[in-house]
Amino acid sequence: MTRPILVTSALPYANGQPHFGHLVGAYLPADVFVRYHRMIGSDVLYICGTDDHGVANTLAAEKEGVPYREFVQRGWDVWNDVCGQLGISFDNFSQTCREVPHYALAQEFFLRCKKSGHIVRRDIEQLYSPKTNRFLADRYVVGECYVCGHDDARGDECPKCGSWLEANRLKNPRSRTDPEDKLELRAAWQFELDLKPFSEDPLVKPWLTEFRKGLKTNVSKFVFEKMIEGEGLESRPITRDLPWGVPVPNVDLDGQPIEDVDGKVLYVWFDAPIGYISSTMEWAERENKDWRRYWIRKDGEDGARLVHFIGKDNIAFHCIVFPSMLAWQQVDGDYSLTGPGKGEQYVLPENVPANEFFNLEGKKFSKSDQWTIDIGPFIEKYGVDRTRYYLIAAMPETSDSDFIWRDFKARNDKLANAFGNFASRILKFVAKHFDNRVPALGSETLDRVTNEVRTRTEAMARAIEEYRFRNALDEFLGLAEDGNQFLQDTQPWQLRKTDLAACGAALHQALQYLPALSALAQPFVPGLAASLRTQLNLAPRGAGPLLPSERLAEGHALGEASVLVAKIPDEVIASELEALRGTPED
């Protein structure tokens, strides 16, 4: 039996504005992976949701005078719309602010980590804002640099002298969002998750060895050479004093009180990834399925394949922190709990395909500098499939890459010419000269098309399994190029004048590329795949093995041919660039 597959995309921050960088980094590749697996009949589940807690959300909500819950709901709506527009096919898109099932599960995670001895209490000093009645994170603090005296140093770094600062040592500290808000240093304490034993933990070590082998080099260098073997792991705070978040429970697993936790909530990076699980539980409840199938494995069994798609900034959480939390859910004793019981444990990730960053014409996307592309209008204008096609083709898989308007046109036109026009030239030919029905194959064979389809399909499958989506996309387009080459070699437009049966036989073969192309297109450009099937008068493709491919039988009545992919005029690109730069091009 094949293993179930659980795919997640990084939980977007409810406060964040989605742009192409997010989509191309963590959502689109996951969606391609998931659509591919659905197509071949894998048991795959795709889970996401918004990350609703944390200081940035509370500050933004307060600034607008909106209740927290309402504020993050708006964020959810935005992300849900954008992902929907781009055809990101989540099985469930939840929120970490939902008390059922998220809060209870997050609290259970805390209690189990505590019970298994990985949570410690630590006294700290932190900058406190009397005006807003809370402790502020370093990045919300500004003050006078204690190295160079610059008065506008940030809590983490001085922009003037470049020194690496400790926020607590800043002189004259104040809130970044409100200069009148003078901060004071106050004693506090928080719970911390002690990550020191992580890499040597007997539950973790065997997994870690395997995990390392599958990671892209940029990911494994960061996790292993820098963090585990380099700096070493420390304990990190997992609670904060905030009015918005999952409350730290005040009774432990054994019914003993946990002192002084009023006003404390679980901190974002402890709380957020649990959202992957609670979102799965929510899905299971709705669909009457079993969430444990994807998250829990019995000792000695493989369990599901867990794959986290993220941007590169999220590597530490998904490769170290969340796995440690999952592993440290093991507790002895008889408790009535949701997670793994005796002889069970949570699955640990098989891979964390982290993409690099995606910029716009060489510079970082920035809404405030107007250096951006509005996703909604863009997709309305160019269509979801053409958007997806380009973003996949330009995806920052191995290094940072760019959205480049001229490249968008070039890629789009290539797709229109090699793929769209290929379907069009055959279908119109058959409509004109063969009554729009699949001609007879005669004594010819389908060996050539069958072999080419197999080669391309296998290469595409391999690339997707290795998270090389750009290469996978090339195989799809490559099959269309094979088809064009076939026509060039057989020249049915010549045969028509001399030998109509031979002409029909050639077209019969050429037509067979099209159902295969609709299959290869499906993970990347599902709308185009469907349109092509309509033009072929084929029912939507169900799940099933990629091979053997479908065949258009002799006499099959085809649908009506029309332009699948339109080209983009130069003037359109010129005006987009002008709008972006604010000046006409040189």
Partner RNA sequence: GGGGCCGUAGCUCAAUCGGUUAGAGCAGCGGACUCAUAAUCCGUUGGUUGCAGGUUCAAGUCCUGCCGGCCCUACCA
List the interface residues with RNA, window 558-577 (CB under 7 A): 563-567
CB nearer RNA, residue 410 or residue 572? 410
Q: Identify the residue whose tokens are 């003050």.
A: 143
Least distance (Å) between residue 333 CB and RNA: 29
Residue 321 in the binding site for RNA (CB under 7 A):
yes
CB nearer RNA, residue 284 or residue 394? 394
Which range, of 181-189, 244-252, 289-297, 404-412, touches RNA by CB under 7 A?
404-412
Least distance (Å) between residue 348 CB and RNA: 17
CB nearer RNA, residue 55 or residue 511? 55
Q: Is the peptide bond before 548 cis (omega within 30 degrees of 0)?
A: yes
How far is residue 243's CA from residue 141's CA, in Å, rounded to a whole number?
A: 19
Burial class for 457, CB neighbours closer than 10 Å (0-12, 13-18, 19+): buried
Q: Which of 99, 123, 180, 231 binds RNA (CB under 7 A)?
A: 231
Residue 138 in the binding site for RNA (CB under 7 A):
yes
CB nearer RNA, residue 305 or residue 318? 318
Strands 44-50 and 92-95: parallel
Least distance (Å) between residue 176 CB and RNA: 10
Least distance (Å) between residue 517 CB and RNA: 12
Binding mask 419-458 toward RNA (x if CB under 7 A, else -) reads: xxxxxxxx-xx--x--------------------------
C-alpha distances in angstroms, 141 versus 63, 156, 169, 241, 557?
Answer: 17, 8, 11, 16, 70
Residue 484 in the binding site for RNA (CB under 7 A):
yes
Degrees to nearest 5, angle at CA 426 with 425 and 430: 120
| Long-range Cβ pairs for the range 334-337 (8 Å, 24+) | 335/253, 337/108, 337/112, 337/253
Largest CA distance in the chain: 94
Strands 344-346 and 44-50: unpaired
Q: Which of 54, 75, 173, 504 binds RNA (CB under 7 A)?
A: 54
CB nearer RNA, residue 20 or residue 103? 20
Residue 195 in the binding site for RNA (CB under 7 A):
yes
Q: Which of 4, 12, 340, 504 binds RNA (CB under 7 A)?
A: 12
Q: Which of 67, 493, 555, 579 binds RNA (CB under 7 A)?
A: 493
Residue 230 in the binding site for RNA (CB under 7 A):
yes
Q: Which of 32, 418, 472, 546 binds RNA (CB under 7 A)?
A: 418
CB nearer RNA, residue 283 or residue 365? 365
Within positions 140 to 159, which residues make up the interface with RNA, using CB under 7 A?
Answer: 156-157
Q: Which of 42, 177, 338, 417 binds RNA (CB under 7 A)?
A: 417
Amino acid, single-letter form, for residue 497: K
How far is residue 545's CA from residue 548's CA, in Å, rounded to a whole number?
A: 7
Within positions 257 to 276, which residues make up the interface with RNA, using CB under 7 A?
Answer: 268-269
Contact predicate 6/290, CB 8 Å: no
CB nearer RNA, residue 179 or residue 230? 230
CB nearer RNA, residue 108 or residue 385? 385
CB nearer RNA, residue 31 or residue 303? 31
Degrees to nearest 5, angle at CA 96 with 396 and 17: 45
How far is residue 470's CA from residue 489's CA, in Å, rounded to a whole number?
A: 28
Within positions 344 to 383, which residues make up the interface with RNA, using CB under 7 A?
Answer: 357-359, 364-365
Q: How many residues bind RNA (CB under 7 A)?
A: 89
Least distance (Å) between residue 17 CB and RNA: 9
CB nearer RNA, residue 2 or residue 398? 398
Within positions 462 to 481, which residues make up the interface with RNA, using CB under 7 A?
Answer: 481
Least distance (Å) between residue 195 CB and RNA: 6
How far is residue 95's CA from residue 109's CA, in Å, rounded to a whole number?
A: 17
- Give the residues across from 251 on adjacent strands: 257
Q: Which of 82, 416, 453, 519 binds RNA (CB under 7 A)?
A: 416
Contact predicate 550/571, CB 8 Å: no
CA neighbor of 539 nearest in space, from 525, 556, 563, 520: 556
Q: How far apart are the first and last CA of the chain?
A: 61
How far is residue 188's CA from residue 337's CA, in Å, rounded to a whole number?
A: 31
Residue 218 in the binding site for RNA (CB under 7 A):
yes
How far is residue 406's CA from residue 32's CA, in Å, rounded to a whole number?
A: 24
Least distance (Å) between residue 209 CB and RNA: 18
How far is residue 281's CA from residue 100's CA, in Å, rounded to a whole number?
A: 10
Within positions 66 to 105, which residues make up the interface with RNA, using CB under 7 A?
Answer: none
- Give the residues across from 371 on adjacent strands: 366
Least distance (Å) between residue 284 CB and RNA: 25
Q: Identify the residue whose tokens are 């760019």.
A: 402
Burial class for 177, CB neighbours closer than 10 Å (0-12, 13-18, 19+): middle
Which range, of 102-110, 134-142, 201-209, 440-448, touches RNA by CB under 7 A?
134-142
Within positions 277 to 316, which residues make up the interface with RNA, using CB under 7 A?
Answer: 310-314, 316
Contact predicate 278/96, CB 8 Å: yes
Residue 529 in the binding site for RNA (CB under 7 A):
no
Tokens at 10, concatenated? 């990084």
Residue 137 in the binding site for RNA (CB under 7 A):
yes
Least distance (Å) between residue 256 CB and RNA: 29
Q: Is the peptide bond before 540 cis (omega within 30 degrees of 0)?
A: no
CB nearer RNA, residue 188 or residue 337? 188
**DSSP letter string, 485-538:** HHHHHH-HHHHHHH-HHHHHHHHHHHHTHHHHHHHHHTTT-HHHHHHHHHHTT-
Q: Which of 24, 204, 215, 463 binds RNA (CB under 7 A)?
A: 24
Residue 221 in the binding site for RNA (CB under 7 A):
yes
CB nearer RNA, residue 80 or residue 484? 484
Strands 305-311 and 354-355: parallel
Which range, of 29-37, 371-379, 390-398, 539-547, touches RNA by CB under 7 A?
390-398
Residue 22 in the binding site for RNA (CB under 7 A):
yes
